[in-house]
Amino acid sequence: MNLKTDPVAKQELPRDNRSIIDYAFKNDPLFKPLESKAKHEKVYQHNHGGITLRCTEFNSVGDITVRAGEFSKIELCNEHGLQPRDLRRLDSHFVNQMPGILVRQKAILVNLLHIKAIIESDKLILFDAITMANDYDHGVLVRELQERLKEGAGKKSTGLPFEFRALESVLISVVERLQSDEEVLLNLVQNLLAYLEESVDRTKLRELLQYSKRLSRFEQRAGNIRDALEELLDNDEDLEDMYLSAKLSNEACETNDHEEIELLLETYLMRVEEVVNHIESVASHVRTTEDVVNIILDAQRNSLLLLEIKLTIFTLSLSAGTFITSIFGMNLLNTYEGNPYGFTIVTGAAGALGAILGVLGIRKMRSVLRRLK
């Protein structure tokens, strides 16, 4: 930038570094593409979930008050008394998050399988799926939660506060999803194991490997949910803080007076534990089948090696006989041309040598096999 010809350069230049950078962005044409790119990146981040989250809100009687509404993270933090790091657990853009239930002053944050939600004393906020492939499943989940919340609101005799009814509805969906996935996967695995009991096929062995990996992943998912529930049950302070309605009405909860939430969590912990135990049992069956298949394959491999050894011994015996005949087949004079018994003697000697080598080879092979057994 030429200070003599540029009229802008005649203005008073800033002195600090930040002002110099801002000044360059505004006045130097070389920085215009960078400024445009920065604005584009901000717009892209805003439009792709970097700042806003889409969610559906239910009230205390199960009615949907907000459907697929977009809220900024700042609004959610201010409204529900959360920290930005709390919302990170509920943002679907952050993959491979560990499941868990976080208890805060005004809300309960749930991140279990396909459900990411905020539960308060009078509302349930369910965060939407981010992909079109999950829209149908998400719609089914919304209807199921709505029906359960309405059903729970109609049962006044239970006496459970809304936050517990909402949490129970979420846990029911999580357990049903686990059981559904378990049923589909176990049917496939059991059919495959039944087939492998009849015959061993290479294609089926590849399928067994894939199902074994899927079982391991599913076992890990179910185990993580079990660990999350156990961790919550072991924390008395979190159990006390889960009484959101009581805190709003200034009803103090005694140290050991959280039997309701303990019984609720233990009920679904037992159901998750059943899924985990069943998966572990089937996974153990799969590993046993893999061991048996490996034994069968090893036996077949040993049979092929034994056949190869026998063929090698036979070839050695035959080669010894043909070696003698090849010597006499050369066009050289020897003392057996005029002997009437020469052919018989040579042929008998060649056969005897081959037979002796064959017998010795077979005896040695059997001796080695006996030592291995």
Please write the tens of the pLDDT for every residue from 284-343: 888 888 888 888 888 888 888 888 888 988 888 888 888 877 777 776 666 666 777 777
Question: In terms of domains, do 53 and 122 share one?
Answer: yes
224 part of a folded domain: no
* Cβ neighbours, 10 Å, residue 330: 8
Among the ranges given (56-65, 138-147, 151-160, 231-240), the one the predictor scored with the smallest mean pLDDT:
151-160
115: Cα separation from own chain's centroid? 17
CA distance 316 to 361: 9
Is residue 120 one of the residues assigned to a domain? yes
CA distance 195 to 339: 69
Q: Are residues 24 and 63 in the same domain?
A: no
- The one-letter code for the residue type at 94 is F
Q: How many domains does the chain have?
A: 3
Q: What is the mean pLDDT of residues 122-128?
A: 88
Per DSSP bridges, beta strands 52-59 and 123-127 are antiparallel
Percentage, residues of the chain above pLDDT 70: 79
Q: How high is the pLDDT of residue 2?
A: 45
Whether residues 60 and 125 share a domain: the answer is yes
Q: Say if CB 365 and CB 309 are below 8 A apart.
A: yes
Report yes or no on 261 lying in a domain: no
> Which residues span the domain enclosing 341?
302-372
* Of 128, 126, 136, 1, nearest in space to 64 by CA: 126
Are 31 and 62 within one domain? Answer: no
Nearest-angstrom CA–CA distance, 195 and 294: 16
Within this chain, do residues 80 and 126 fall inside the same structural domain, yes or no?
A: yes
Whether 142 and 126 have beta carbons less than 8 Å apart is answered as yes
Name the residue type at position 348: G
Specify the pTM. Answer: 0.69
DSSP structural state of residue 252: P
Distance CA 77, CA 57 (A): 16
Both 54 and 110 in one domain: the answer is: yes
